[in-house]
Amino acid sequence: MTLTRRTFLAASAAAIGAAALATSGCASPATASPGRLTLWYATRGLSEAVLRDAVARFPAARLDPAAVGDGLKHRLLAVMSGGAYLPDMTMLGDDVASYFPDADQFVDLNTLGAARLAGQYLPWKWQSGITSDGVMIGFPIDIGPSALYYRHDLFAKAGFPSEPDDVARAVPTWDDYFRFGQELQRALPGHYLITDTKTVFTYSMAQLPVKYFDRQNRYLPDQSHVREAWDRALRAFRLGLTAGYAGSQDPGTSVDRHAAWNTGKELSFVNASWVTGELKESAPGTAGAWRVCRTPGGAGNQGGSYLAIMRACPRPQAAFEVISWMLSPENQPRTYLDAGLFPSSPAAFADPRLLEPEPFFGGQVTMDVFARSASEVKPAYFSPWDINISDAFTDELSNVELAGKDPDLAWTDARTAVERLLQRKGVI
Amino acid sequence: MIWTRRGRVITYLAMTAGAVILLFPYYWLTVMASNTTADIYAYPPRLTFGGHFLANIGQVFARIDFFGSLLNTVVVAVATTLLVLLFDSLAAFTFAKYRFPGSSVLFGLLLATFVVPTQLAAIPQFAIMADLGWVGSLKALVIPAAANAFGIFWMRQYCQSALPDELLEAARMDGCGFLRTYWNIAVPVLRPALAFLGIFTFVNSWNDYLWPLVVLIDSHHVTLQVALAQLNGLYVKDYSVVMAGTLVAIVPLIVVFLFGARHFIRNITAGALKG
Amino acid sequence: MSLLDAPGATVVTAESAAPPRQGRRGRYLPYYLAISPFFLIFGVFWLYPLGYSFFVALQRWDGIGPMHFVGLENFRFLATDATFWHSILNTLLIWVMSVVPMTVLAMLIAIGLNSTIRFTGLYRIAYFVPNVTSTVAMSLVFASIFSGQFGILNWVLGLFGVDPVPWLTNPWGIRTAIAVMIIWRWVGYNAIIFLAGLQAIPDEVHEAARIDGAGPVQTFFRVTLPLLRPVLLFSVLMSAISGMQVFAESQVLVGNRGGPEEAGLTMVLYFYNQAFYYNDFGYGAAIAWGIFLVVVIFAILNWRLIQRPERRRAGEVAP
């Protein structure tokens, strides 16, 4: 590509007669700051305090952390495409699997001695950063174990079980949760227990040991488990349990959800642990009223990031030292307290700082719930196309929920969209 | 134009009401910037100012290099605007009033810029910048933006209607060469259009986000929009601080606009009234 | 003069305008030099992306790894892609929903600006300011205004006894909200343009109409509006070109995939979606070419609408 580009550039420059431009043919640096180790991360995707310590602790590495707002991926794509100014280390999100087909752009962390650290991390998380060929691209940063968040005070007011253990006992499966929800809605009309159909689908899928592909990247012919999750989501909608702020991650509709937290309209919801920060930030007036307990249907994971070392890095071993120190079990508790990033190392769960009673949750030690959830997550294989596929399904679900689309048509359209997408990508 | 007294009163009322409605989002922005994030989600909505304005702004200044990135943005916007005005008016004037071999083809080529959306163009343009060694430099923002095809379309249109052939003919009779015709005759006539294009370019350059994000690799030397985006957290967005940042970023632009607006609007109407 | 004149006035030929220089080739030299700064930059920075875009559209590429040549496969997909056609429809709908109210309002505001003597500078600034701020920056502001259950707009409507309108969860609500954002941004800008047009009409014209006994409304529709036609159509054409490229308003209000029924999915948003969110650059590039085609066709149609009535008018009374 470089040769073609240079030829093209020279040709166009010559054609217009600007000889001056042709003289700046110096080689562009492979990495963003030669001589330093640059680390790109999303703001608050790593603990600032830990980063500062890392800079001080590894002076020889000359670490240069750079926070990038939304658009880290865009910049990463540009530099990878251009083959220059690449970061030495970069954060990858839960779409890490989409980089698996291009694993050769990254350093296999196993060659740097990562394997001996494997035992310190949750096996399913460790595995999710490794391609089906065994190349390790992503070192675990944080995870998103799911839990049921609920309003202790409102449950109690309605005369329902309100202690975490009691609630967990009352709603072991999704069907139990739906029944519970219906009864609760009769007592407290106009309130919701499920954010939207997307939540039900996403967290149902998160609880399964199998997603859309097998480990050899073959599309699974039997998608009945997907159908099950789909039907469950629709059932929640038909029973009137969903609030219907579709796309609650998008700024346009999260206002609704945050306000619902404030007014108590959303009584409970299933979500991964990272929502706690959002909850505290947008609804501080409800402090003390929330509790968490085990997710109906079992533990699932949603979200979580990784750190990767790019192939262009001239000192991968030094980079690995920095990464493994920053993300070590010793530093993870600090990261959690500082930035709300849930540890991916079980040893961190036992840290006494994380076992303090939390005022926001009325003195509950939420780590108990989340730690248990984290260790119960079933390892599953994520393909590079999982996010696209699940989007196709959740988009159609919100069509049914908000636009009144016929559910059978929606299912067919979702399947068709997925098949067309995979055909275009050459997968099936 | 409105002749009756009652009509006049209604007009003033309507204009004021319209202005208030149009400016409401800025009021709401200020309210959000002066409250905490939680207040933003209160219901009924909190419509009054809170006491956190200074605290939020303090956070903005603490977390990002506000003034450094502001300076960068100003430099880029001014340089881009000047270059665009010069290059576009020169080229538009030529295309509008003169025929030369290949002019239609070259003009048609300009349509090509509409093919590539900016987000897609960012990828190959980054590669070009890498080859030129301009990555991380403000040059990378200014120079490519100087070729603004929309500006040429706009100005060519204006040239054709505002510059009668007789005027150019008279200039030629007086012995004016091409450049002198352009500079002494065309430019004064084009002032309103230049004012419009200038504001349009300045604002777009000021608000440009994606390309600066991609090409200004060094997080410590970025433009304002990129710096503000650094306030957006991964899982939690501290909205009141983000709003404060947005507000503070708007202020310089509005100040510049206020100073330029009088001049700009005077020019518009002056140009319109001219013969 | 100026903005009021019909577009497409005559072009001065080289023979009559330029003084003869050294020899035939030298005659055109100043023109080439004049356009060269622009085309130099254009050639270096925009020609390559153009070729790149075409080249990538013929590949299957995720933006990171190697490319696989697939010929016109992406375009074949595009032709049968219901979502793409839907996005074209959305873009057109949103455009119509924004350009009509915007033009009417801009005209009203321009008349108002023309009629108010006091505070007129302040008014002009106030109406123009929305154009100055970036869409992304105002995104949360508008999100909280349009929020379905807790937004300000619905709260105000509630004070008048109106039920909450599902602005962001209903397909037409979404399109309306996007259109409102566009109108908000551009109404002042266009009002200033119309104002310039209004102020260029000599007072004698209105005087004559008044003497003839025409009321203000009649005068406006029979006398003023026809004189403003070039300005109006210019404004509509400009808004057509930028309307086809709406992206930020959609993305900030309803996210990357356009919301329920993909009601807010405009063409450029769909392109962005496919290229950067679904890691399908080849298809994204093909979509970009599809968008270009739509824009060109639309612009030509618009242009025809402008040209033909003008040619007819040329035979009538000159202003």
A310-337 residue pLDDT tens: 999 999 999 999 999 999 999 999 999 9
pLDDT score at C132: 83
pLDDT score at C315: 45
pLDDT score at C233: 81
What is the rounded radius of gyration, in angstroms, for the C-alpha atoms of chain C?
24
In a domain, C63, yes or no: no
Percentage above 90 pLDDT, chain B: 28
Percentage above 70 pLDDT, chain C: 88
Task: Say what the ipTM of the complex is.
Answer: 0.86
CA distance B177 to chain C (A): 7
pLDDT score at B275: 30
Percentage above 70 pLDDT, chain A: 92
SS3 content of chain B, % helix, strand, coil (to 5): 75, 0, 25
**Segment C70-88 mean pLDDT:** 93
In a domain, C108, yes or no: yes
Query: Which residues 129-188 in chain B show a CB within 8 A of chain A?
Result: 130-133, 135-136
In a domain, C263, yes or no: yes
Confidence of residue B266 (pLDDT cuts 50, 70, 90): low
pLDDT score at B148: 86
In a domain, C1, yes or no: no
C236-273 residue pLDDT tens: 888 888 899 899 888 888 888 888 888 999 999 999 98
Query: In the structure encoding, which two tokens stand for residue B234, read together?
Result: 């991964």
Q: Which residue has the higher pLDDT, A10 or A198?
A: A198
Q: Is a pLDDT exceeding 80 seen at residue B274? A: no
Closest chain B residue to A262 measured between Cα atoms? B42
Confidence of residue C5 (pLDDT cuts 50, 70, 90): very low
Q: Does C251 touch chain A (CB under 8 A)?
A: no
A18-50 residue pLDDT tens: 333 433 445 678 888 888 999 999 988 999 999
In a domain, C2, yes or no: no
**C-alpha count within 13 angstroms, C-beta hemisphere, residue C136:** 18
Q: How many domains does chain C have?
A: 2
**Residues C96 and C220 grouped into a single domain:** yes
Does residue A301 sit in helix, strand or coil? strand
B124 with C1: Cβ contact below 8 A = no
pLDDT score at B223: 93
B151-163 residue pLDDT tens: 888 788 788 877 8
Nearest to A99 among C64, C170, C262 (CB): C64
pLDDT score at A27: 64
**Residues C34 and C90 grouped into a single domain:** no
Q: How far apart are the first and last CA of chain B?
A: 21
Backbone angles phi, psi at C50, to 5 degrees: -65, -50
SS3 content of chain A, % helix, strand, coil (to 5): 50, 15, 35
Q: Is a pLDDT exceeding 70 seen at residue A252? A: no
Structural domain range at position C219: 74-317
B189-236 residue pLDDT tens: 888 888 888 888 998 999 998 899 999 988 888 999 999 888 877 777
- What's the CA angle centered on C104, arms C99 and C107, to 5 degrees? 120
**Residues C122 and C209 grouped into a single domain:** yes
With 0-12 / 13-18 / 19 or more C-beta atoms within 10 angstroms meaning exposed / middle / buried, residue C207 is exposed
**Residues C39 and C185 grouped into a single domain:** no
**Segment A114-130 mean pLDDT:** 94
Query: Which residues 299-318 in chain C show a CB within 8 A of chain A?
Result: none
**Residues C146 and C286 grouped into a single domain:** yes
Average pLDDT, chain B: 84
pLDDT score at C316: 44
A420 with C261: Cβ contact below 8 A = no
Most C CBs within 10 Å: which of B10, B99, B267, as the mutation test of the C interface?
Answer: B99
CA distance A168 to chain B (A): 26
Q: Is a pLDDT exceeding 90 seen at residue A130? A: yes
Does residue A192 sit in helix, strand or coil? strand
Query: Which residues 75-134 in chain A show a CB within 8 A of chain C?
Result: 77, 80-81, 98-99, 101-102, 105
pLDDT score at B264: 63
Q: Which residue has the higher pLDDT, A282 or B124?
A: B124
Cα separation of A422 and A388, whole Å? 10
CA distance B127 to chain A (A): 4
Query: Which residues 51-80 in chain C show a CB within 8 A of chain A?
Result: 51, 60, 62-65, 68, 73-74, 77
pLDDT score at A243: 86
Q: Is a pLDDT exceeding 90 seen at residue A119? A: yes
- Separation of CA A311 from chain center: 24
C85-135 residue pLDDT tens: 999 999 999 999 999 999 999 999 998 888 877 777 788 889 988 988 888
Most C CBs within 10 Å: which of A253, A386, A405, as the mutation test of the C interface?
Answer: A253
Cα separation of A283 and A276, whole Å? 10
Confidence of residue B183 (pLDDT cuts 50, 70, 90): confident
Query: In the structure encoding, which two tokens stand for residue B262, read together?
Result: 């009088």
Closest chain C residue to A386 measured between Cα atoms? C278
pLDDT score at A17: 37
Which residue has tokens 């200074």?
B54
* Domains of chain B: residue spans and CATH: 1-63+236-250 (no CATH), 70-234 (1.10.3720.10)
C301-314 residue pLDDT tens: 877 776 655 554 55
pLDDT score at A22: 36
**Residues C104 and C250 grouped into a single domain:** yes
Q: Is a pLDDT exceeding 80 seen at residue C25? A: no
Q: Is a pLDDT exceeding 60 seen at residue A428? A: yes
With 0-12 / 13-18 / 19 or more C-beta atoms within 10 angstroms meaning exposed / middle / buried, residue C317 is exposed
B22 with C127: Cβ contact below 8 A = yes
Q: Is a pLDDT exceeding 70 seen at residue B268? A: no
pLDDT score at C105: 95
Which residues, in sequence order, are CB contacts of A428 under 8 Å at separation 6+?
A: A219, A419, A422
A214-242 residue pLDDT tens: 888 888 888 899 999 999 999 999 999 98
Confidence of residue B140 (pLDDT cuts 50, 70, 90): very high
**Residues C85 and C45 grouped into a single domain:** no
Cα separation of C206 and B189, whole Å? 26
Q: Is a pLDDT exceeding 90 seen at residue C215? A: no
**Residues C103 and C185 grouped into a single domain:** yes
Count CB neighbours of B61 within 10 A.
13
Q: What is the CATH number of the domain that holds C293?
A: 1.10.3720.10
Q: Does C269 touch chain B (CB under 8 A)?
A: no
Q: Does C216 touch chain B (CB under 8 A)?
A: yes
Cα separation of C158 and B44, whole Å? 11
**Segment B5-15 mean pLDDT:** 86
- DSSP characters for chain C? -GGGSPSS-----HHHHSPP-SHHHHHHHHHHHHHHHHHHHHHHHTHHHHHHHHHHHTEE--SSS--EE-TTHHHHHHHT-HHHHHHHHHHHHHHHHHHHHHHHHHHHHHHHHHH--TTHHHHHHHHHGGGGS-TTTTHHHHHHHH-TTT-HHHHHHHHTTPPPP-TTTSHHHHHHHHHHHHHHHHHHHHHHHHHHHHHTS-HHHHHHHHHTT--HHHHIIIIIHHHHHHHHHHHHHHHHHHHTT--HHHHHHH-TT-SGGGTT--HHHHHHIIIIIS--HHHHHHHHHHHHHHHHHHHHHHHHHHHHHHHHHHTS---
C135-163 residue pLDDT tens: 887 887 888 888 877 788 888 898 898 88
- Beta bridge partner(s), residue A65: A39
For residue B128, list chain A residues with Cβ-Cβ distance below 8 A.
5, 9
Cα separation of B194 and B154, whole Å? 10
Q: Are A221 and A214 in contact (CB under 8 A)?
A: no
**Residues C46 and C168 grouped into a single domain:** no
E-state strands within A161-317: 268-272, 290-293, 306-309
Q: Does B234 touch chain A (CB under 8 A)?
A: yes
In a domain, C67, yes or no: no
**Residues C81 and C230 grouped into a single domain:** yes
pLDDT score at C259: 83
Query: In the structure encoding, which two tokens stand for residue A247, read together?
Result: 């796309």
pLDDT score at C98: 95
**Residues C39 and C149 grouped into a single domain:** no
Q: Are B221 and C149 in contact (CB under 8 A)?
A: no
Q: Is a pLDDT exceeding 80 seen at residue A4? A: no
With 0-12 / 13-18 / 19 or more C-beta atoms within 10 angstroms meaning exposed / middle / buried, residue A240 is exposed
**Segment B143-147 mean pLDDT:** 91
Query: The pTM is what?
Result: 0.88
Query: Which residues 274-293 in chain C show a CB within 8 A of chain B?
Result: 275-276, 281, 284-285, 288-289, 291-292
For residue C62, list chain A residues with Cβ-Cβ distance below 8 A.
98, 101-102, 425
pLDDT score at B195: 83
- Beta bridge partner(s), residue A271: A147
In a domain, C69, yes or no: no
State the Cα torsion B118-B120-B126-B127 to the nearest 10°: -140
C271 with B117: Cβ contact below 8 A = yes
Average pLDDT, chain A: 88
**Residues C78 and C51 grouped into a single domain:** no
- What's the CA angle centered on B258, arms B15 and B187, to 5 degrees? 105
In a domain, C136, yes or no: yes
C155-192 residue pLDDT tens: 889 889 888 888 888 889 999 999 999 999 999 989 98
